[in-house]
Amino acid sequence: MNDAESIVELIPRLRRYARALAGDRPAADDLVQDTLERAWSKLHLYRRGTDLRAWLFTVMHNVYVNQRRAARPSSPLDEEMPELAQPGREIDALVLRDLDAAIRRLPPDQREVLLLVALEDMSYSEAADALEIPIGTVMSRLARAREKLRAMLSGLPAGSGTQLKIVK
């Protein structure tokens, strides 16, 4: 399989991550398109034999960060629910809506780590490589994101749930 075919197979995963990062479909589609355009023009920089998925997620992360830095006006987030494989019960839809809203309220650095590890099923090491940060930073951002989500979903103020313990 060549690089182009491999990239095409990864588009659904890129779209899912972009949707979670950007918040709405049009912005996510733009992010995927910008990512694929950048990846295609920089394909000569990809080292064969390494993880293409991690490389593409790194490209997407960098494109996303650059777009945020450019401070272009963004469209308001739509409150549209992600598509479910099966129609859920009303309670499930409400829980999913609350979870989606809570994830969107996380700081971007924590949200990125959470989405890569939880949604994209990347290992800590893969997420660290994709975001170009140390693995310890991935672990601390993930712990903080999980704690904030617990607090938001339980209605408690941040930091009132379980506290992280210092291990010596």
Q: What would be the CATH architecture of the domain defined by 1-80? A: Orthogonal Bundle (1.10)
pLDDT of residue 117: 92
Please state, in angstroms and rounded to a whole number, the distance separating the CA atoms of residues 36 and 31: 9
Q: Which residue has the tokens 């499930």?
A: 92
Higher pLDDT, 4 or 161: 4
Q: Comparing 1-80 with 82-162, is the CATH topology the same?
A: no
Would you say residue 158 has pLDDT above 60? no
Mean pLDDT, rounded, for 93-104: 82
Q: Which of 14-28, 51-65, 80-94, 134-148 has the highest mean pLDDT?
A: 134-148
Looking at CATH, the fold of the domain delimited by 82-162 is given as: Arc Repressor Mutant, subunit A (1.10.10)
Domain range annotation of the chain: 1-80, 82-162
Mean pLDDT, rounded, for 101-126: 91
Mean pLDDT, rounded, for 66-76: 65
If one counts every other C-beta atom within 10 angstroms of the C-beta of residue 44, the result is 5
pLDDT of residue 4: 76
